Amino acid sequence: MSDATSAETFAAPRLRALERSDLAFVHGLFNDPDVMRYWFEPAHTTLADLEDAFDRQRGSDHLRRFILETAGRRVGLVELMYIDHVHRNCEFQIIISPSEQGRGYASAATRGALDFAFRALNLHKVWLLVDTENAAAVHVYEKSGFAVEGVLRQEFFADGAYRDATRMAIFADDYLDPTRT
Ligand SMILES: CC(C)(COP(=O)(O)OP(=O)(O)OC[C@H]1O[C@@H](n2cnc3c(N)ncnc32)[C@H](O)[C@@H]1OP(=O)(O)O)[C@@H](O)C(=O)NCCC(=O)NCCS
């Protein structure tokens, strides 16, 4: 095995703060219809709009955006949105680059984001909305400890039809002590 292959195989994926220099990568994701179909948004975002939003949101206490990288390569985007410091909850969102899917990166990124939410931000609850038909995502979330709270019928429109969304959530106590009943 070459050194490069060896480094690639053993480099653990890690989350770090999203930088302005990452926006070209995000632009690619946000203009991919196969990705945005599951983010409940049309695949139509300019780089300038992403830069404006980045500048506006800098320093916000209500949003933490991360890049997942491994071996120096960007492989995904993770966001903790609508961070509420009274109710101590937030929404979780994730995209893994289509060319990097199926390698366990979503599971690693979800763990990293939950660690940050519960161990760094001291949140109480993390919730998400997922297309009910997005079986891979639902599987990753259940494996990570999220439980279904309910189904929102015909909640969003994508790929020519109204879609149901499943709301899932996980609580700090259950995440930090999985043996708790
Ligand atoms: C959903 C998404 C985040 C998954 O990322 P990923 O890196 O491919 O996920 P992982 O490799 O960590 O794990 C995928 C898991 O789903 C399983 N899986 C894949 N397809 C599946 C399916 N059709 N049904 C059930 N499970 C499935 C895999 O076997 C794997 O399970 P395992 O870890 O127990 O072996 C990625 O496909 C993505 O970004 N999609 C586009 C945007 C999106 O849907 N975001 C989520 C919005 S809520």
For the record, the structure tokens of 133 come out as: 């038909």
What secondary structure letter does DSSP report for 34? Answer: H
Helix axis angle, 105-115 relative to 135-143, nearest 10°? 50
- What spacing in Å lies between the alpha carbon of 52 and ligand 1's midpoint? 31
pLDDT recorded at residue 178: 79
Tell me the domains of the chain and their CATH numbers.
12-176 (3.40.630.30)
CA of 51 relative to ligand 1 center, distance in Å? 29
pLDDT at 2 (0 to 100): 41
The string of pLDDT tens digits covering residues 119-167 is 999 999 999 999 999 999 999 999 999 999 999 999 999 999 999 999 9
Q: What is the pTM of this model?
A: 0.93
State the pLDDT at residue 9.
53
Cα 150 to ligand 1 centroid, rounded to whole Å: 20
Q: Which atom of ligand 1 is nearest to the CA of 97?
A: 39
Distance separating alpha carbons of residues 124 and 92, to the nearest angstrom:
13
The rounded Cα 115 to chain-centroid distance in angstroms is: 13
Query: Closest by alpha carbon to 133, among 156, 114, 111, 149?
Result: 156
pLDDT of residue 6: 45
The mean pLDDT of 3-28, rounded to a whole number, is 81
Residues belonging to the active site: 141
As to burial, measured by CB atoms within 10 angstroms (0-12 exposed, 13-18 middle, 19+ buried), residue 47 is middle
pLDDT of residue 75: 98
Residues within a 6 A CB radius of ligand 1: 35, 38-39, 94-96, 101-107, 128, 130, 134-137, 139-140, 143
- Rounded CA-CA distance 169/125 in Å is 7
Strand order in the sheet with 64-70: 14-17, 64-70, 73-84, 89-96, 125-131, 161-171, 147-158
How many whole angstroms from its chain centre is CA 108? 11
CA distance 31 to 44: 5
- Distance (Å, whole) CA 117 – CA 145: 14
Of the candidates 101, 116, 150, 111, the one whose C-alpha atom is nearest the C-alpha of residue 18 is 116
Dump pLDDT digits (tens) for 55-89.
999 999 999 999 999 999 999 999 999 999 999 99
